Amino acid sequence: MDIYRAHVLVCGGTGCSSSGSATLIDRFNEKLAEHGLEKEVKVVRTGCFGLCEAGPVVIVYPDGTFYSRVKPENVDEIVTEHLLKGRKVEHLVYVDHATREQDAEKTLDSITFYKQQHRVALRNCGVIDPENIDEYLAMDGYRALEKALTTMTREEVIDEILKSGLRGRGGGGFPTGLKWKFTYQSQADQKYVACNADEGDPGAFMDRSILEGDPHAIIEAMAIAGYAIGASQGYIYVRAEYPIAVKRLSIAIDQAREYGLLGKNIFETGFDFDLNIRLGAGAFVCGEETALMHSIEGKRGEPTPRPPFPAVKGLFAKPTMLNNVETYANVAQIILNGADWFASMGTEKSKGTKVFALGGKINNTGLVEIPMGTPLRSIIYDIGGGCPNGKKFKAVQTGGPSGGCLPESLLDTPVDYDNLIAAGSMMGSGGMIVMDEDNCMVDIARFYLDFIVDESCGKCAPCRIGTKRMLEILNRIVEGKGEEGDIEKLEELAETIKATALCGLGNTAPNPVLSTLRFFRDEYEAHIKEHRCPAHHCKALLQYVIDPAKCRGCTACARVCPAEAITGTVKNPHVIDPKKCLKCGSCMEKCRFGAISRQ
């Protein structure tokens, strides 16, 4: 184990991997060897840094220089200039979105994107090599397990989690300590601990990033949970679509077994605990706890009514404690630093921090972790950098298909479980999708409902049939065939589904429609009554028109039109035939005079 004078950290999260970080790592190793630096400089593949927008991300320590959007051909320059001669490559340094500065002296923590964040669940992501247990150990890893097993009783562990005020990060927000307590109190010869890593919300990737960047944190937390409730076996239910997460998790479990941190008689305390991975096939409903457990058992992933709750009768009909990945990611920190430390962050009823996956029409797509109670506005503008291309912000969708859309007027809402529900949305697992003036809210509602109709397991009628009927109505509205009374029909269906569906998926399925109706009712009305899409988004309701005063007759539009819908002669204004027009928008993109508009 050698000390290197410099470490080159390359992001190996999913975002940066898909923009080519694996090639970067190979190239770095190649070039370092070429210059004889392989014994001085170490290249480390880490988990997600969070700023996926600027990927692939490379950080050089000890300087802390933050390079963004690094291409394989830039590697040469970083090696010969920075690593060999100690001269930072200024033009590759990240440009801060807020200050527009490209300052090579700035370290990661002083960049606007990170400054307001507070990393608890993501503390090791982008810092350690997730495939190396020693690095996790060096970051105080498995110290919490040691503390719990050797100095705390099971009751004390549960008490600490209860006192911390930690609530389920998967969306429901149920107090985690209570869940642990109920499972602890159930009497049985065998109990189970399970981890829900079936992250299904469109746009959410925080669990994925934690598993990819810090898998040992989850293993440690599950072992602590196993000790607390009296379980000797745990299951991690993870989507097969997360290959990097599955691979790193498997490596981590093997390493933990080798070090005796999983298995028989851990730390010679007589406590046995082992973990297995179960792969999900990617059905959204399998994120629902009863469906998830059926799937682990090898049965069809369908929910069953509760009670009995899993704490009484879960996996294989034994008491089971199921928590989400991000919830577990907080556990070791609470045990180590104490409940009071955790409870000092956040709001009165929502303690700690929350990770959000920022996506959609936002400058800094990526992963952010902020203390509960941070206003939406500061997440979207200060950290996220606002909407790209100077477009006007319209709404933010939180909570995935079970959540809702919040308009500009609610941007000052402090983000926590209760405030979001009061505002008509929910925390959900933490997807946050930003929409600008070009997004049609009716179409957004239709998109989410389309997702739900696809993902409904079909077991109960309200969800199977009700959501389908709602989707049909929405499809009609966006096609300009909406009728008077459609809005009322949607509301009635929504209320019925909410009240009667079997599981959480169905209960919350109408939320995207209800929340857009609540805040953007005028858009629905414009579609139905005036056959007009205010955002100029719905194809059936818009027309491309050429302004004769601006058209110079350059014929560019006529040449690009795939339907030959544009006619006109050179130097004379052109005309679009609405009957032939496919509304593809190519002509508008091509026009250099801004003469074509959507109406």
Partner 1 sequence: MKSLAELEAIRKATASRINLRHEDAADTTRVVIGMATCGIAAGARPVMLSFVDEINKRQLNHVTVSQTGCIGMCRLEPMVDVIVPGKEKVTYVHVKPEMVSRIVAEHIVNGRPVAEYTIGAAEN
CB of 208 to partner 1, least distance (A): 23
How far apart are alpha carbons 544 and 68 in whole angstroms? 39
What backbone torsions phi and psi does residue 273 show, to the nearest 5 degrees?
-155, 135
How far apart are alpha carbons 364 and 330 in whole angstroms? 25
SS3 content of the chain, % helix, strand, coil (to 5): 45, 15, 40
Choose between 85 and 592: whose C-beta lies nearer to partner 1. 85
CB of 494 to partner 1, least distance (A): 50
β-strands 233-239, 271-280 pairing: parallel
Q: Nearest 5 degrees, angle CA 383-CA 126-CA 18?
A: 85
How far apart are alpha carbons 356 and 528 in whole angstroms? 35
How far apart are alpha carbons 330 and 221 in whole angstroms? 8
Choose between 182 and 267: whose C-beta lies nearer to partner 1. 267
What is the strand order of the sheet 320-324 is part of?
Answer: 263-266, 271-280, 233-239, 192-197, 320-324
CB of 8 to partner 1, least distance (A): 11
CB of 150 to partner 1, least distance (A): 8
CB of 126 to partner 1, least distance (A): 10
Choose between 66 and 205: whose C-beta lies nearer to partner 1. 66
Choose between 20 and 64: whose C-beta lies nearer to partner 1. 64
Choose between 105 and 340: whose C-beta lies nearer to partner 1. 105
Site of interaction with partner 1 (CB under 8 A): 1-7, 9, 39-40, 61-64, 84-87, 107-109, 127-128, 134-135, 137-138, 140-142, 146, 150, 259-261, 263, 267
CB of 133 to partner 1, least distance (A): 8
For 109: left if phi > 0, alpha if psi spans -120 to 50, otherwise beta; the answer is: alpha
Choose between 255 and 324: whose C-beta lies nearer to partner 1. 255
CB of 250 to partner 1, least distance (A): 20
Choose between 3 and 549: whose C-beta lies nearer to partner 1. 3
Q: What is the DSSP letter of 15?
A: H
Choose between 39 and 468: whose C-beta lies nearer to partner 1. 39
Give the position of tokens 């065939």.
481
CB of 89 to partner 1, least distance (A): 13
Choose between 146 and 525: whose C-beta lies nearer to partner 1. 146
How far apart are alpha carbons 145 and 537 in whole angstroms? 53
From start to end of 240-289, where are the E strands? 263-266, 271-280
What backbone torsions phi and psi does residue 117 show, to the nearest 5 degrees?
-85, 160
CB of 442 to partner 1, least distance (A): 47
**Token code pair at residue 18:** 């898909």
Task: Of 466, 477, 574, give the one whose Cα is nearest residue 516.
Answer: 477
Judge contact between 566 and 575, C-beta under 8 A. yes
CB of 18 to partner 1, least distance (A): 24
Residue 319: Cβ within 10 Å count: 25
Choose between 40 and 491: whose C-beta lies nearer to partner 1. 40
CB of 136 to partner 1, least distance (A): 9
Choose between 150 and 572: whose C-beta lies nearer to partner 1. 150
Buried b (16+ CB within 10 A) or exposed e, 242-276: bebbbebbebbbebbeeeebbeeebeeeebebbbe
**Token code pair at residue 161:** 């989690």
How far apart are alpha carbons 595 and 574 in whole angstroms? 10
CB of 88 to partner 1, least distance (A): 10
Q: Nearest 5 degrees, angle CA 506-CA 510-CA 511?
A: 110
**Token code pair at residue 173:** 């927000």
Task: Of 433, 429, 345, 418, give the one whose Cα is nearest residue 384.
Answer: 433
How far apart are alpha carbons 543 and 551 in whole angstroms? 17
Choose between 112 and 475: whose C-beta lies nearer to partner 1. 112
β-strands 6-11, 566-567 pairing: unpaired
DSSP SS3 for 303: coil
CB of 331 to partner 1, least distance (A): 19
How far apart are alpha carbons 214 and 132 in whole angstroms? 10
Choose between 86 and 594: whose C-beta lies nearer to partner 1. 86
CB of 82 to partner 1, least distance (A): 9
Q: At what angle do helices 176-185 and 215-229 cross, to 10 degrees?
A: 40
